[in-house]
Structure 1
Amino acid sequence: MKFAVIGGTGLIGSQVVKKLNAAGHEAVPHSMSTGVDVITGQGVEEAVAGADVLVNLTNSPTFDDASLAFFQTSMENLLAAGQKCGVGHAVILSIVGTDQVPDLAYYRAKTLQEDILKAGPVPYSIVRATQFMEFVAAVLSWTTEGDVVRLPTTPIQPIAAQDVSDAVAEVAAGTPLNGTLNVGGPDVFPLDDLGRITLNARPDGRRVVTDGTAGMFAAISGDVLTTKGDARIAPTHYSDWLS
């Protein structure tokens, strides 16, 4: 099969392209760097033409209200091109629990993207993943003041990007789910403990202080960002990833 992987040069996209090609498919990466602009529509139809499957791994450059417009415009442009070009399957990567976090604009934006895909003209699959292990360092940086990192106790279930890309590639190569696959890492940590584990393994002079009001994740109540029920549990433990 032929795959058009939009956002195919990023953290997940580049791995998805590699995995699909290794499996004998033809996966072509597309991004701004290859002349494809999902907002203006430039190069989108050309990228999608001839593809059996459209994999959308683009991401908003911001986490604020502007992300809503990004995901709406990009999803609508890609679906229009997919329908015109006869694509038989559209896949996106989303976030576990995204529809349970209405107070955060970025999560509302991802929910909007899902809803547009579900209502669209192309058979679809949604892969929802928990928080990437690769992003934990960034999360710590958001609430660092001097040598103190302030973090809430929000439950987090970190997953390795490699495991996310495995799930996306597998779903993309399969029959459209017309539904959602949830994937998460094998362990759940309070975010403040996850910060301590990270800094113990990679000490840099900072220490973690528990603060229920600190950072973006303070707006999240309960365990909505962790998997439930029949979700797929990935094999990579955070301790192994750190080492």
Structure 2
Amino acid sequence: MRIVVIGGTGLIGSKLVTRLGEHGHEAVPAAPNTGVNAFTGEGLDEVLAGASTVIDVSNSPSFEDAAVLEFFQTSTRNLLAAEKKAGVRHHVALSVVGTARRPDVGYFRAKLAQEKLIEESGIPFSIVHATQFFEFARRIADEGTVEGKVRIAPVRFQPIAGEEVAQAVGRTASGTPLNGQLQIAGPEQFQMDDFFRDALAAWKDEREVVTDPHAHYFGAEMHDRDLVPGDDATLGQIKYADWLAGQDAR
């Protein structure tokens, strides 16, 4: 099966290309550094020729509200139009848990707009909603840092290893289109401020973590369950402490 991975040289995309290749698929990484740009449309017709499935794990270079909305709407429209011309039979997109709950959050609103375009495209589709990646934890801490202190709200948090995200997305892409959504998350649920207090200690990062119910998560206050999945989510097996130990060993 020829599977084109949009964003195929990034964190999740590169893992996907490797995993799909190991399972006998022709996995093609597509990104600006391979001459394919979904936002401008460059190279889409050429790379999609003969593809049966497209996986979109691309991400916006900017999280600013207007910019991220423009990125996902424009790139998704371009991609879906090219897929229709190429006869693609399955469109798989990686999204984020919580989009429908918090459309007031800029990034979530942009992902929700992307999902709507996919659902209305007429192309068979699957949308995978994931919680935050372990690999993203340091950026969350940095974004929450104010005057040298990491301000984190005491809300629920259930991050997942990027490798298990790639595994779930790859398995979904290899199967029958869901024409719907599924949720994936890590095996452990934390209180977010407690998670980062332990994480910074493990990183040997001396910044103090301050519990702040009004702390912003990328520009917005979070409610208790905004970042965690429903009870029907598929859970990974890799725990954060074990993943971190593996990173340190490498």
- State TM-score, norm by structure 1: 0.97
In structure 2, what is the equivalent of residue 14 of structure 1?
A: 14
Q: Distance in 2 between matches of 1:140 and 1:224?
A: 18
The offset of 1:104, in angstroms, is 1.0
Q: Distance in 2 between matches of 1:68 and 1:145?
A: 26
Please report the RMSD computed on the Cα atoms of aligned residues, expressed in angstroms: 1.2
On the 8 A contact 1:98/1:225 being kept in 2, the answer is: no
In structure 1, what is the equivalent of residue 237 of structure 2?
A: 235
Q: Please list, as runs of the form range in 1=range in 2, the aligned pairs for 1:220-231 lying within 5 A after superposition.
A: 220-231=222-233
In structure 2, what is the equivalent of residue 202 of structure 1?
A: 203
Q: Distance in 2 between matches of 1:121 and 1:151?
A: 41
The offset of 1:146, in angstroms, is 4.7
The offset of 1:147, in angstroms, is 4.0
List gaps (5 residues or longer) in structure 2.
246-250
Amino acid at match of 2:14: S
Q: Does 1:83 align with 2:84?
A: yes
Q: Please list, as runs of the form range in 1=range in 2, the aligned pairs for 1:54-203 lying within 5 A after superposition.
A: 54-65=54-65, 66-203=67-204
In structure 1, what is the equivalent of residue 27 of structure 2?
A: 27
List gaps (5 residues or longer) in structure 1.
none
Amino acid at match of 2:168: A
Can you list the C-alpha shifts for 1:56-88, whole angstroms capped at 9, x where unaligned? Answer: 111111112211111111111111010100000
Can you list the C-alpha shifts for 1:65-122, whole angstroms capped at 9, x where unaligned? Answer: 2111111111111110101000000000001111111221110000110110000021
Range 125-134 or range 218-227, more displaced: 218-227
The offset of 1:179, in angstroms, is 0.7
Q: Distance in 2 between matches of 1:205 and 1:227?
A: 31
The offset of 1:229, in angstroms, is 2.5
Q: Distance in 2 between matches of 1:121 and 1:148?
A: 48
Can you list the C-alpha shifts for 1:162-207, whole angstroms capped at 9, x where unaligned? Answer: 0000000000011101011100001111211111110121112211
Amino acid at match of 1:60: S
On the 8 A contact 1:131/1:157 being kept in 2, the answer is: yes
Tell me the SS of whatever aligns to 1:204.
Answer: coil
The offset of 1:224, in angstroms, is 2.6
The offset of 1:215, in angstroms, is 2.4
Tell me the SS of whatever aligns to 2:100.
Answer: helix
Q: Distance in 2 between matches of 1:19 and 1:63?
A: 28
Q: Distance in 1 between matches of 2:54 and 2:86?
A: 10
Q: Distance in 1 between matches of 2:244 and 2:202?
A: 7
- State TM-score, norm by structure 2: 0.94
On the 8 A contact 1:187/1:237 being kept in 2, the answer is: yes
On the 8 A contact 2:149/2:207 being kept in 1, the answer is: yes
Q: Distance in 2 between matches of 1:151 and 1:222?
A: 12
Q: Distance in 2 between matches of 1:49 and 1:154?
A: 45
Can you list the C-alpha shifts for 1:8-49, whole angstroms capped at 9, x where unaligned? Answer: 000000000101100011000010001111111111111111
On the 8 A contact 1:88/1:123 being kept in 2, the answer is: yes
On the 8 A contact 2:97/2:130 being kept in 1, the answer is: yes
Q: Distance in 1 between matches of 2:176 and 2:226?
A: 28
Q: Distance in 1 between matches of 2:125 and 2:108?
A: 20
